[in-house]
């Protein structure tokens, strides 16, 4: 690998270090991070490179920038796998990160990104993407139902999926109603977001912001996924943390009614359930399968609790006092 890095990039590996999930090496007081790019196209990588260069130029020293090869390309192959290398300053300590405040600053800068984004754009596409995902899983569920369950996970999936069809349809309709009822404001412009914010280790102060984690979307994507992460991880004891998270964010960027409704719609969409089901049937490792099975059991055991959380979400954050008409889902109000 050292030879490939030397030949392709003209870089020298002084020493290897593992940071989070990535292999990294040090050279001349910079850290170089090897990031797999399996799920990214060259067009996406090009847009992400422009985003990272822009944020870095705006003064965000926590953003890692892309390192081009000697020939000017952004991707190379190591062990037959596509890889990009990102560069950042050597960080000798774990930063203390106030996630809400840091996220608000990132989104504020990202809304001013001056280059049109096509390939990484997700804003305005939630209804279609969720509908497609639902259709694909429903087709798979029908085949499982016809064949009959082969194991305990199959049974849990077959029995639970109709409930999550309904929840997903509620989420899609909530987005549609929001787009009809509310007028977007400046805060609702597309910005630099994360595919899955909880997977980005900068929130724990362990690594720099990596563009490979990003998409171009509404800020509600990050806000909802961080709330989902806190609630799924910590349940009712996360309620004060959730309030504090939004206080930190809105200290920099107050949210609109449109934003709050998109946050709620995304929380309605049972992403954690979909990812659990998809993960189980994709993995070939028995240990991973057992983890997914336990995760599914926990999700189903806590479904009524999550209903109550969704039913009281606006009240939890005292949003009714802002004199907005934020509609609740009727059946969740009685959970």
Token code pair at residue 43: 């067009």
**pLDDT given at position 235:** 67
Q: What is the pLDDT of residues 256-298, one digit of tens each?
A: 999 999 999 999 999 999 999 999 999 999 999 999 999 999 9
The residue-averaged pLDDT of 295-306 equals: 94
Q: How far is CA 104 from CA 39, 123, 206, 229, in A?
A: 27, 18, 19, 18
The residue-averaged pLDDT of 192-198 equals: 95
| Structural contact between residues 204 and 247, judged by C-beta atoms closer than 8 angstroms | no
**pLDDT given at position 267:** 96
Q: In the chain, how many H helices and how many E strands? A: 12, 8
Query: Measured between alpha carbons, how far is 1 from 4 in angstroms, rounded to an integer?
Result: 5
| Structural contact between residues 54 and 114, judged by C-beta atoms closer than 8 angstroms | yes
Query: Measured between alpha carbons, how far is 323 from 212 in angstroms, rounded to an integer?
Result: 39
pLDDT for residue 121 is more than 90: yes
Report the CATH architecture of 2-94: 2-Layer Sandwich (3.30)
Lowest-confidence pick of 2-16, 243-257, 272-286, 294-308: 2-16
Question: Which residues are bridge partners to 26 per DSSP?
Answer: 15, 31
- Domain coordinates in residue numbering, the chain: 2-94, 126-189+218-334
Query: Measured between alpha carbons, how far is 225 from 216 in angstroms, rounded to an integer?
Result: 15
The mean pLDDT value of the chain amounts to 91
| Structural contact between residues 316 and 243, judged by C-beta atoms closer than 8 angstroms | yes
Query: Measured between alpha carbons, how far is 253 from 145 in angstroms, rounded to an integer?
Result: 47
**pLDDT given at position 1:** 78
Nearest one of 328, 333, 305 to 234, comparing CA atoms: 305
Distance of CA 267 to the CA centre of its chain: 12
- What is the band of 146 on the pLDDT scale with cuts at 50, 70, 90? very high
Token code pair at residue 127: 């209804």
Its pTM stands at: 0.93
pLDDT for residue 324 is more than 90: no
pLDDT for residue 161 is more than 70: yes
φ, ψ for residue 66, nearest 5 deg:
-75, 145
**pLDDT given at position 133:** 97
Q: What is the pLDDT of residues 48-99, one digit of tens each?
A: 999 999 999 999 988 999 999 999 999 988 888 899 999 998 876 667 789 9
**pLDDT given at position 92:** 64
pLDDT for residue 335 is more than 60: no
Q: What percentage of the chain exceeds 70 in pLDDT?
A: 96
- What is the band of 137 on the pLDDT scale with cuts at 50, 70, 90? very high
pLDDT for residue 334 is more than 80: no
Q: What fold characterizes domain 126-189+218-334?
A: Aminoglycoside 3'-phosphotransferase; Chain: A, domain 2 (3.90.1200)
E strand or H helix at 225: helix 220-234
């Amino acid at each position: 690998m050292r030879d490939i890095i030397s030949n392709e990039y003209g870089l020298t590996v002084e020493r290897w270090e593992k940071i989070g999930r990535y292999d990294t090496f040090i050279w001349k007081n910079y850290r170089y991070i090897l990031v797999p790019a399996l799920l990214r196209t060259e067009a996406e990588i090009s847009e992400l490179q422009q985003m990272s260069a822009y944020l870095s130029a705006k003064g965000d020293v926590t953003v890692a920038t892309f390192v081009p090869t000697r020939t000017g390309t952004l991707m190379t192959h190591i062990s037959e796998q596509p890889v990009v290398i990102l560069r950042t300053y050597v960080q000798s300590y774990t930063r203390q990160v106030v996630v809400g405040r840091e996220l608000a600053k990132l989104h504020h800068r990202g809304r001013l990104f001056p280059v049109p984004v096509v390939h990484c754009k997700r804003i305005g596409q939630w209804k279609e993407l969720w509908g497609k995902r639902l259709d694909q899983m429903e087709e798979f569920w029908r085949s499982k139902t016809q064949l009959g369950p082969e194991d305990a996970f199959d049974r849990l999936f077959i029995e639970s999926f109709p409930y999550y069809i309904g929840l997903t349809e509620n989420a899609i309709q909530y987005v549609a109603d929001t787009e009809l009822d509310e007028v977007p404001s400046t805060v609702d412009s597309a910005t630099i977001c994360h595919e899955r914010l909880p997977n980005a280790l900068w929130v724990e102060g362990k690594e720099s912001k990596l563009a490979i984690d990003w998409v171009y979307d509404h800020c509600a994507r990050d806000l909802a996924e961080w709330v989902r992460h806190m609630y799924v991880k910590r349940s009712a004891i996360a309620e004060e943390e959730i309030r504090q998270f939004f206080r930190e964010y809105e200290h920099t960027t107050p949210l609109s009614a449109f934003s709050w409704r998109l946050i709620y719609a995304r929380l309605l969409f049972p992403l954690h359930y979909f990812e659990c089901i998809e993960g189980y049937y994709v993995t070939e490792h028995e240990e991973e399968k057992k983890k997914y099975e336990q995760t599914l059991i926990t999700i189903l055991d806590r479904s009524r609790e999550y209903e109550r959380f969704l039913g009281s979400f606006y009240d939890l954050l005292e949003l009714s006092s802002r004199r907005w008409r934020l509609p609740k889902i009727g059946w969740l109000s009685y959970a």
